Structures are given as C-alpha cells and as structure tokens.
Amino acid sequence: MKIRVVLIAALLFSLAVAANSQTPAAPTTHLKVGDAAPDFELTDTTGNKVKLSDLKGKKNVVLAFYVLAFTGG
C-alpha cells in the first residue's frame, strides 16, 4: 500500500513538472492598462465574424479566455 502511494505521488510530481516546463511564455505587448483595444476580428459562438469596431458605441464588449478549453489538450 505504501509503495502504491509513493508511486502515485511520484507520478503526480512528474506530471506537474512536465506541465510546468511546457508552459509557453506570455506574449509581449505595447498595450498598457487603460489603453483602447486595437481593432480585431474574431468568430462568435455561431461562426459569424465580428469586428470590435463594428460594436463601438453600440454594445458593451466582454472577452473571456478559457485557456485550453474545448481543445482536448
């Protein structure tokens, strides 16, 4: 039983180390807090292209990022 616990702990530790070593570096940006967002285009949940500039003055915009969500990775 003790060997099983040690093996599981070692496996979890090695997985944590491997996951940490594969973390990509954060991208650099010239933007600062309070700057206006640059115009960009993304696909919405229904597959339509939406530009940020199309929404200016019409709606509030909230961007939510779910890292690795729905990627199977």
| Buried-state track 14-36, b at ≥16 Cβ within 10 A, e below 16 | eeeeeeeeeeeeeeeeeeeeeee
Q: Does the global pTM surpass 0.75?
A: no
Higher per-residue confidence, 31 vs 15: 31
pLDDT over threshold 90, residue 14: no
Give the per-residue pLDDT at 45.
81
State pLDDT tens for residues 17-67: 666 656 677 778 888 888 888 899 988 889 999 898 988 888 788 877 777
Give the per-residue pLDDT at 49.
93
